[in-house]
Chain A
């Protein structure tokens, strides 16, 4: 799976979980919090994305991630 495909999955779930947000507004160098996501929104985006990508990453490994790019990189370490 390519990085672009992983990023597209994450973006899809960000749009599903955050209201009033357009795809072109998402800047992957930023945190989801910058687009109005609260802590449980972020958990939901991460869980939904991991389910779709069929990967499981312990929460301890995700705790220090801030930006969407960093999340994509972390997912890339686990996708096949």
Chain B
């Protein structure tokens, strides 16, 4: 099977479009790739980065792939929200751009495989929960860190995370903000498809994508439409509650301090 994949790969004509932070391409077997590649900012959701993901997903959708592999950097799949956007929310500015990623991923007409070699925290983990098949690395960490910054979870986390890791582990992740090591999650009964060593993730994702790509694209799209109906509903439910909780929790005076404190170490290290 692996040889077959490699042989096919060798004669594939790949179209690659490189942007600064998002890399998209599709091969001749209908396997599309979107790599979040913001090395400097570790795939945090700045407005530009979000726009890049949305643009990349639109581009891929137009290519009509059978399946998409969504990946990140080797050390970080996604770092979640950007500090500036969180401070904007503390200042009462409405900021819903990161929600667009959840919505867009759930509404893709093709299945999406999240291949998480690196850490995924906050909204970064939620985008994996929006995907159809999820792979995580034993060496990396995964957590819903919202509450560590004083505000309640967003992006659909309150309903989608429990689908991925189970309701009680999701509760622990959300209430504590603990970043679970992949190897620890592997010992628990989560719904993550595969928890492997970092170097195995992309190969496994490609193997799954290959299997999907052999099926009839028309039936793949039909099935995706049916299977995503539940997630679409869950996202709508989450947003009703999460938007309200955000209005309240971002207005707490302690939240701004907690956000500043949370990013303090990171900013000192950059200097």
Q: Which residues of A contact B (CB under 8 A)?
A: 17, 19, 38, 40-41, 43-44, 58-60, 62-64
Contact = CB atoms under 8 A, between A and B. Distances in A.
B269 A63 contact: yes
A62 B264 CA distance: 10
A44 to B, nearest CB: 6
B46 interface: no
Q: Is the interface of B mostly helix, strand, loop or mixed?
A: mixed
Contact of B261 (A17, A19, A59): A59
Given A17-B181, A19-B183, A40 B265 contact: no
Contact of B265 (A17, A38, A60): A60
Interface in B103-156: 119, 121, 138-141
Interface residues of B, number: 17
A62 B121 CA distance: 21
A64 B234 CA distance: 42
B268 A63 contact: yes
B247 interface: no
Contacts of B119: 38, 40
Contacts of B179: 40, 43-44
13 contacts: A38-B75, A40-B140, A41-B181, A44-B141, A44-B178, A44-B179, A44-B181, A60-B264, A60-B268, A62-B265, A63-B265, A63-B268, A64-B268
Nearest 5 A-B pairs (CB), nearest first? A63-B268, A59-B265, A40-B141, A63-B265, A60-B264
B212 to A, nearest CB: 31
B264 A41 contact: no
A64 B264 CA distance: 11
A60 B264 CA distance: 6
A27 to B, nearest CB: 21
Nearest to A40: B141
Contacts of A62: 265
Contacts of A38: 75, 119, 139-141
Contacts of B175: none
Contacts of B75: 38
Contacts of A64: 268
A6 B63 CA distance: 58
Contacts of A63: 264-265, 268-269
A62 B178 CA distance: 19
Contacts of B210: none
B221 interface: no
A38 B181 CA distance: 11
